[in-house]
Amino acid sequence: MTAYQAKTPDQNGFVAYTEEENGTWEILYKRQMELIKGRACDAYLEGFERLKMSSNSIPQLPDINRVLRKETGWEVAAVPALIPFGKFFELLANKQFPAAIFIRTREEIDYLQEPDIFHEIYGHCPLLTNPVFASFVENYGKLGLAASKQERVYLARVFWFTVEFGLIQQASDDLKIYGAGILSSTEETVYSLESDKPVRKPFELMTALRTPYRIDILQTTYFIIKQFEDIYKIMDSNIIEHIHQAIELGDFEPNFPPKEITAKAELPRNEHDC
């Protein structure tokens, strides 16, 4: 359940955001722009430049879509605050990225478990201008649409450890961020690269499939790719066979405490609930 209600666009797809809502975007935008300097990957920054988002008002989807369609044929689709997994996969399979058109309140400006428009537009859309990454997400949607409920649980892990919380070792050997869940989070942007607490390891499909995660804490494991082709190549029908193998092998022991122990003592921190 959610306390947020998505806005209703007009017949041209534009939304009348309030002054306070635009002000919230401005706060989030300006502080993240400072934090991602030297931390975001080149492909994200290049896509960000193409989108030319406003710094002081929430971007309108028709403006974002004009650029995405030109670059990769993608669009952003306005959706209610929460949608079923089936609808999520259907949209991705049709090159439409779902975005709930509401923005968090000032009281929840540092943490929101569900994805709002800042997470979706600022975090996800820049990389949808990259042809290889965009094709990976499209193929992910097609496979998810045909997958069983159990298989989707494991596909969600792939999405989580790549699209949401992925790191990339660029040609310069610098470790950078490409995951939207990190890039839209003030705390995790710094933590993911500079803290000595989390485990960082090269992306390997079977390992990722068997690795559990929690959505309400700073991540304890990050997977590193060298190029987007690394994840693009795994997104074919053979991944279902790997999922069945992962189910047989079982999950690795979590490297985080059970939620029941920490739920009352710690505030959730991640910006996005996949």
pLDDT (0 to 100) of residue 26: 98
Domain-located, residue 271 = no
Domain containing 245 — which CATH number?
1.10.800.10
The mean per-residue pLDDT over the stretch 135-164 comes to 97
Number of domains forming the structure of the chain: 1
DSSP string, 53-69: --SSSPPPHHHHHHHHH
Domain-located, residue 273 = no
Q: Is the pLDDT of residue 274 over 50?
A: no
The mean per-residue pLDDT over the stretch 249-270 comes to 67
Residue among 141, 165, 12, 41 nearest 83 (CA): 141
Domain-located, residue 55 = yes
Among 46-60, 98-112, 122-136, 236-250, the minimum mean pLDDT is found in: 98-112
Tell me 125's DSSP state: G
Give the pLDDT confidence of 10-42 residue by residue, as tens digits: 999 999 999 999 999 999 999 999 999 999 999
pLDDT (0 to 100) of residue 267: 32
The amino acid at 28? L
The mean per-residue pLDDT over the stretch 47-75 comes to 98
For the whole model, what pTM was predicted? 0.92
Neighbours of 224 (CB within 10 A): 15
Domain-located, residue 151 = yes
Among 18-32, 111-125, 188-202, the minimum mean pLDDT is found in: 111-125
Domain-located, residue 268 = no
Domain-located, residue 202 = yes
The mean per-residue pLDDT over the stretch 243-266 comes to 80
Tokens encoding 240: 């279902």
Residue 244 is assigned to a ligand binding site: no
Can you tell me the distance from the alpha carbon of 168 to that of 272, in angstroms, rounded to the nearest whole number? 20
Residue position matching structure tokens 């290889």: 132
Domain-located, residue 176 = yes
Domain-located, residue 36 = yes
Can you tell me the distance from the alpha carbon of 48 to that of 123, in angstroms, rounded to the nearest whole number? 10
The mean per-residue pLDDT over the stretch 240-252 comes to 98
Where is pLDDT greater, at 224 or 111? 224
Q: Where in the sequence is the domain holding 208, given as residue range(s)? A: 19-249
Give the pLDDT confidence of 173-185 residue by residue, as tens digits: 799 999 999 999 9
The mean per-residue pLDDT over the stretch 112-138 comes to 96
Confidence of residue 80 (pLDDT cuts 50, 70, 90): confident
